[in-house]
Chains A and B, each alone.
Chain A
């Protein structure tokens, strides 16, 4: 109410800034979370690769955030188990 959000111009610079903050933050968080695991060792990199592919496959197959996340976690863990 105090901000008089009804006066915020549609498509104005403030609206564009705020609407971009969320996607920018999520992209940043994703990169920050996987960067430590990116190492020049295929055996250590493999769980990250398979987990990521499982997320991509799970999302495009189900369009479900929860299921795709779960698929990635399961495949990542299974890869770690198989590599030993």
Chain B
């Protein structure tokens, strides 16, 4: 069986590219409207490269949350990524090369992991060039979307308040859509408790407390609910 090449991976990344760009765009808009410079927003995408977590980072940092608390919260939210490497290599087989894993593993987002795993389960032979093609396509889309979003949200549309308002609503709209996409009977108590505690804690204490306590309450609900 011929190993998939870099360009095969890049071609496979195209659906991810189309999905990432608008979300990264909304992040760029949200970041600049929250007071970050275009460069800061771009660097957040460059280093963190984790969708919902970047929005969470924005919310925590702009509400004045301590850096250590913000970092630990983001780590907890992204801990599932620790499982992606082993799961992928288990499917890749014992003879799969991991010589450059230190580089392509950075690109193992949920979607890249899903695409790569799907290819392996369909019988494709594992190759690191393929992983690079897949990861670079997705990463480039994320970075370019952020860059364009920072331009749109950084004041370029100041003369068009309706467009600016619409862009400002992209973030809540995205969160609501993501909620709908993960909504299930199992997660309903988690979501309901997290939402209720967020409202109560925000009104009673602060926005930062609302976010942190809401997340914690939701996660604990998940533990208690078998």
Is A68 touching B210 in the complex (CB atoms < 8 A)? no
Is B22 touching A24 in the complex (CB atoms < 8 A)? no
Nearest opposing residue in chain B for A66, CB measure? B22
Q: Most B CB atoms within 10 A — which of A11, A28, A35, A51? A: A28
Q: A23-B182, A32-B198, A69-B174 are in contact. Are A77 and B214 (CB under 8 A)?
A: no
Counting contact residues on chain B (CB < 8 A from A), the size range is: 35 or more
The docked-state distance in angstroms from the alpha carbon of A50 to that of B170 is: 13
The docked-state distance in angstroms from the alpha carbon of A48 to that of B163 is: 14
Residues in B with CB closer than 8 Å to A5 are 82-83, 86
Nearest first, the 7 closest Cβ-Cβ pairs linking A and B are: A20-B222, A77-B166, A24-B218, A72-B173, A81-B162, A30-B175, A28-B214
A-B contact pairs, 25 of them (CB 8 A): A17-B223, A18-B80, A21-B215, A21-B218, A23-B218, A24-B190, A24-B193, A24-B217, A24-B218, A25-B218, A26-B52, A28-B195, A28-B218, A33-B59, A48-B172, A51-B172, A59-B181, A60-B180, A69-B170, A69-B174, A72-B173, A73-B173, A76-B166, A78-B162, A80-B166
